[in-house]
Structure 1
Amino acid sequence: MKTCLAAALLALSPCVLNAGPLDNKIGEMAAAPGIKNAVWGLSVKDAATGKVILERDPRRNLVPASILKVFVTAAALDKLGPERSFSTRLYYDGAISNGFLNGNIYIKGGGDPSLGSQLVKGAAPLDEVFGAWAAAIKKAGINVINGAVVGDESAFESVQPGSWAWEDIGNYYAAQPSALTVNDGLYKLYLKPSEKEGGEAAVLRTEPYIDGLKFENHMKTGPAGSGDNGYIFAFPGQYQAVLRGSIPRGSPEFAIKGALPDPALFAAQSFSYYLAKAGVNSNKKAFKGALPPGSGGVLLAETASAPLKNVVRVTNKRSFNLYAELLLRQLGLQRGSGTPDAGLAAVRAYLAENGADVSELDLEDACGLSSRDTVKAENFTDILRAVSKKKYYAEFAESLVYPGDPDATGHVRAMGKGTGLEKNLRLKSGSLNGVRSYTGYLKTKKGRTLVFTSIINGYSTAPAVIDKMHETLLLALYAGD
């Protein structure tokens, strides 16, 4: 099997590119074991002219996985602007008398992905944000709250798509897209591996601490070097989670990442605890709710997010699902409703405005986690070609991964490293079970810019083989202009 695939890859190498049409070589690759029964959509065009350079079933409807994020990030840059920021506001209602607030403090989320983020450049640490809010409360003459701190996420509909897999819900990459998101919507769960393979891993702690969160632990210890194969099973709002899978043997502790059970409640509780330490106590427990309309809420403080371009950068480089879903709702909000349906309508309209065929487009989310998303490879190529002519192209291209990119995560970080692709390739990749996808820009040896997309569904060979196949294809395109 490996010999057959190696021969197909060799046929694509730049040194023999002129021996026959590249289309024939693609056909050889498609016939290789582990790929021959898969469905492959491929589209390569000249960015300047739109001329087709290479294609294979470019209009086949396929599951795209995480390359879907380029749609929402491009649309956000276009409709909102690279420098756009989002505000989180702190209000109080009721009256202040002799240092006592007879009312509540409200944290009204504005859908800022970067609030307290450890990933976004320019985002203030959560303690720094809380410190500024606490100072504003004290400046208003509030020393005691005869009420509670309330987390208000009412700007958005925060429910996850029903087509997301049950084994994903509860893990950080399927976090709720709340309008009041802090700490990147996640927590770290630290476990102690057993000294022997197959033994139970012990729960140590979470960071940050989450009030009331309990675990039913079935986590096992896998072989040394086996990596994170652990899963956290929990519905949104559920504080009894089930742990399954394995973590590697050989370290004193190992962390996996979970989704905050209730982001807005967590934000309210965290700020309430911070205030208590700062000497401002609340008489009631923090809760999730909304500032009542017409209540005469008084603005205490406003915190602006990092620029949108910084959020887009993390969304694409780290393939961060939560940010994609928050941007989707921001696009919906621009149309009057912070719902995923309104956001998807905005994305569809943006694609159509820029020349993509949306007649058969079927989107369930913005991040590509749903296996019910179906898109044509040519849709991506056409949109990236359109973006290459936009004023925000530099910010968009900067958000894509390049070979050896230190800010990137995932399986393509090393693709093309040490080759001619190193300074000439920008791409976004995607992966689900049986799905591998790639889209981006390639500057050829002669200086021409190509736009490319490749989506493979249903392959059975090793994922690393698919990555290597695409590296070889991109090298052939780079050298064969």
Structure 2
Amino acid sequence: MRKATIAVLTAATLVVGGAYYGLADALDLAPGPLSAAEPSYAVQPFPTPSPVEAPGPQVAGLAADAPTPSAAVLSGYAGTLAGDSLIPGATTGVSIIDVATGTELVDQQASTPLTPASSNKVLTAWASLSALGGNHRMETSAVLSGGTVTLVGGGDVLLAADAGDPSAVVGHAGLGDLARAAAAELTAQGVTSVGVTLDDTLFTGPTWNSGWESGNEAWVAQIQPIMVDVTAHSNTGAYPADPAMEAAQTFSQALSAAGITVTGEVTRAAAPAGATRLASVQSAPLADVLSVSLKASDNTMTEVEGRVLAAATGREASFTGAAQAVREQLQTDGFDVTGLTLIDSCGLARGDKVPARLLAQIMARAAGADGGTVGRDLLAALPVGALDGTLGDRYVGTSAAGTVRAKTGSLEQTVSLTGTIVTADGRLLAYSVIIDGFPEGGMWSARTAMDNDLIVPLSGCGCQG
């Protein structure tokens, strides 16, 4: 599935040149890149976007000798955005990098640490792919000690309640399958009655980030290492109070249905060191999982990915440990993390601070000759303008349709966009733009300014240097 997705999206890039919470996160198409806004703010009227001509036939695809756009012209776009009256009081950071040469063409406060919103997910995705590889899978297992079966969570939060679907990403592994396999092994051992416990100790520390504002409970679950398909709750505005225990109870019921008598209630306990493995199931590959989380901007999945990274690299699998793991992997990969402050993995925390340049450099590395499978997996997981994910209904009918690939980001007073774009001349550029600190209620205006002043002109640029 991942290979097919990569092939389709890569081909598309080459061919074309590279209600809920504010109507379900405004243009970002919830689930949840936004933090919860207070209902009392004064909503600004939605500005009328400037009409833009649809892309013409001049976009013929990437070419090694495609002309580099004028840095002066591109900087002019960024300057226009920074001074736009639609974003009064905001700080705008823009970095645009020519992928072929690595040259930064635009530095509009690119080194200034700003709140990145969900562009923060790019950092987690790169670090996870780089450290673990796109083929990494999360394992859920059942073990036996004495008369107790323990369900051990390993970071899969897309589990099917019953049978898994090996052709799918969501629901790839099933708790019902795990229970039936465990029941068969128990029967073979002559065991007919057991108690059931849940081991969710892979993750440590708080399950809720103190940097998240009240109200975000609608857009991110308690962070635990096992859940039944967390995406099923993404557009409902409500997550289970204890997703891990819900998964354990689902497993217990399936074990009972498979002919094993389950005594008592499901409780929490770490699996004993000498426990015997009964059965296990594995998630889809990490690259496919990231494609789901990045395209939908799923906060819970990204936080889990950060902790899985931390656990796999020997750090404490907590919010703090995940932030350290991401930062250290970026440093290992040669990125300059000056000014980087990470409170979480998904970008819900306003205290996250990231320079636009760092985000653009990650995109340039991913899209460049040395991006390797890490870069290809990351790019394939990003939404594409007017095609899918949180960009599915954005840039329709403009020159940016199909040529923009990006991670969106939106908080109450921050919008961002981080990805790659192909100019009308066929030049591949990496970029990140962050607009931070506009008045409450100004998100729609800020996003309109970003698109009209920078992104659409950039995609239609035939502005040779």
Structure 2 length as normaliser, TM-score? Answer: 0.77
The answer to whether the aligner puts 1:266 opposite 2:246 as a matched pair is yes
Superposition pairs of residues 296-335 of structure 1, within 5 angstroms: 296-335=274-313
Structure 2 counterpart of 1:183, one-letter code: D
Task: Report what 2:181 is aligned to.
Answer: 132
Q: Which has the larger radius of gyration?
A: 1
Report if the CA contact (8 A) 2:95-2:433 is conserved.
yes
The answer to whether the aligner puts 1:156 opposite 2:203 as a matched pair is yes
The answer to whether the aligner puts 1:106 opposite 2:150 as a matched pair is yes
Report if the CA contact (8 A) 2:413-2:442 is conserved.
no
CA distance in 1, matches of 2:95, 2:54: 19
Q: CA RMSD in A?
A: 3.0
CA distance in 2, matches of 1:433, 1:68: 15
CA distance in 2, matches of 1:25, 1:267: 50
Distance 1:304 1:420, change over 3 A: same
Report if the CA contact (8 A) 2:310-2:322 is conserved.
yes
CA distance in 2, matches of 1:187, 1:22: 41
In structure 2, list runs of 5 or more residues that go unmatched: 1-43, 57-68
Q: What secondary structure does 2:238 align onto? A: strand
Task: Report what 2:226 is aligned to.
Answer: 180
Report if the CA contact (8 A) 1:401-1:426 is conserved.
yes
The answer to whether the aligner puts 1:360 opposite 2:339 as a matched pair is yes
CA distance in 2, matches of 1:75, 1:448: 27
CA distance in 1, matches of 2:131, 2:280: 23
In structure 1, list runs of 5 or more residues that go unmatched: 95-102, 189-254
Report if the CA contact (8 A) 1:116-1:184 is conserved.
no
Q: Could you give the per-residue CA deviations for residues 334-361 of structure 1, whole angstroms, max 9, x where no partner exists? A: 3323233332222112222344332321
1:11 to partner: Cα distance: 12
Distance 1:129 1:451, change over 3 A: same
The answer to whether the aligner puts 1:284 opposite 2:264 as a matched pair is yes
Q: What secondary structure does 1:259 align onto? A: coil
461-470 vs 82-91, which moves further:
461-470
CA distance in 1, matches of 2:198, 2:392: 38
Q: Could you give the per-residue CA deviations for residues 35-84 of structure 1, whole angstroms, max 9, x where no partner exists? A: 13111111111012122222311111111111100111111111101111
Report if the CA contact (8 A) 1:437-1:456 is conserved.
yes
1:374 to partner: Cα distance: 0.7
Task: Report what 2:29 is aligned to.
Answer: none
Q: Could you give the per-residue CA deviations for residues 365-403 of structure 1, whole angstroms, max 9, x where no partner exists? A: 000011110111111011211222321222111100112
CA distance in 1, matches of 2:459, 2:275: 59
Report if the CA contact (8 A) 1:355-1:383 is conserved.
no
Q: Could you give the per-residue CA deviations for residues 407-435 of structure 1, whole angstroms, max 9, x where no partner exists? A: x1x4x322222333223221000111011
Q: What secondary structure does 1:325 align onto? A: helix
Q: Which has the higher contact order (CA 8 A, sep 6+)?
A: 2
Superposition pairs of residues 46-445 of structure 1, within 5 angstroms: 46-94=98-146, 103-116=147-160, 120-121=169-170, 123-145=172-194, 148-157=195-204, 159-169=207-217, 171=218, 173-184=219-230, 256-293=236-273, 296-337=274-315, 338-388=317-367, 389-392=370-373, 393-406=375-388, 408=389, 410=390, 412-445=391-424
Distance 1:13 1:124, change over 3 A: closer
Report if the CA contact (8 A) 1:121-1:310 is conserved.
no
1:113 to partner: Cα distance: 3.2
CA distance in 2, matches of 1:471, 1:314: 24
Q: Could you give the per-residue CA deviations for residues 184-208 of structure 1, whole angstroms, max 9, x where no partner exists? A: 28659xxxxxxxxxxxxxxxxxxxx
Q: Could you give the per-residue CA deviations for residues 88-120 of structure 1, whole angstroms, max 9, x where no partner exists? A: 1111111xxxxxxxx111011111233228983
Task: Report what 1:468 is aligned to.
Answer: 448
Task: Report what 1:34 is aligned to.
Answer: 86
CA distance in 1, matches of 2:171, 2:193: 32
Structure 1 length as normaliser, TM-score? Answer: 0.74
Structure 1 counterpart of 2:378, one-letter code: F
Aligned length: 393
Q: Could you give the per-residue CA deviations for residues 166-199 of structure 1, whole angstroms, max 9, x where no partner exists? A: 2113x3x3212212233228659xxxxxxxxxxx
Task: Report what 2:12 is aligned to.
Answer: none
CA distance in 2, matches of 1:269, 1:31: 55
Q: Would you tell me which structure has more helix in proportion to its own residues?
A: 2
